[in-house]
Amino acid sequence: MITELLDAIVSWRTLLVALVVFGFAPGALLRLIVLAFRRDDPRRSELLAELHAVPRLERPFWVFEQLEVALFEGIHGRVSWAQAKWFFQRKRRSTFFLRLSEDQTTADQMVHVDYSGRLREEMLAVNALFEPYARIHGIEITSADGNRYVARIRTHDGNYRLAGAGREFWKLLQKLDEQFHSEFKVDSD
């Protein structure tokens, strides 16, 4: 009987805690939940703002629903983003991705290659890759020909949304492969 009573107390406590957490502090709980999304994922701000549109009585249930969203979407996003970064790290010896600024209309204005075959540091805008709406050009140094390098540039002029999950990065890589390939000679210094 005492055990049953204790069980009841524990379950009542659990219930009370659940009521307090989900019922009285849904905003605080939601702030913890959205941490599952990557820092630059707009879903973080979106869900926090959306909470204000949810009627008060529905909020505990809605917040609980977001827990499911965050566990699946947020963690999946983090994993695929890590995969994409790993892919980039592995590939960067042969392929370079860089962003062109809006006033640089052709990729060959940007390309300078040194004798080590690496793009100059200021052009290897790796971090820019992670900015939203970047214009992306992939440049692959395929061979050296005397004092010139042969590069293949894979261009896509569309603006890609890169601020979301890693999945978008994968899509970008796939699209780059599907885009036209143009080979040209690149003068080295």
Long-range contacts of 121-127 (CB under 8 A, 24+ apart): 123/96, 123/98, 124/96, 124/98, 125/98, 125/99, 126/88, 126/92, 126/97
Please tell me the count of residues contacting other proteins according to CB under 8 A.
22
Which ranges in 37-182 belong to alpha helices (H)?
A: 43-50, 59-69, 75-91, 166-178
Answer positive or negative: Cα dihedral of 112, 113, 114, 115. negative
x/- letters, 64..83, toward other proteins (CB under 8 A):
-xx-xx--xx----------
Tell me how far, at minimum, the Cβ of 131 lies from other proteins, in Å: 17
- Does the protein bind other proteins through residue 38 (CB under 8 A)? no
Residue 61 or 115 having the CB closest to other proteins:
61
Tell me how far, at minimum, the Cβ of 62 lies from other proteins, in Å: 8
List 185's β-bridge partners, or say none.
Answer: 150
CA distance 113 to 141: 9
- Residues 162 to 181: which contact other proteins by CB under 8 A? 164-165, 168, 171
- Does the protein bind other proteins through residue 90 (CB under 8 A)? no
CA distance 187 to 189: 7
Concatenated DSSP letters of 137-158: EEEEEEEEETTEEEEEEEEEEE
Tell me how far, at minimum, the Cβ of 164 lies from other proteins, in Å: 7
- Does the protein bind other proteins through residue 135 (CB under 8 A)? no
Residue 26 or 164 having the CB closest to other proteins:
164
For residue 181, which phi and psi values (nearest 5 degrees)? -115, 125
The region of 6-14, 37-45, 78-86, 179-187 touching other proteins under the rule CB under 8 A is: 37-45
Chain residues binding other proteins by CB under 8 A are 42-43, 45-46, 48-50, 52-54, 62, 65-66, 68-69, 72-73, 161, 164-165, 168, 171
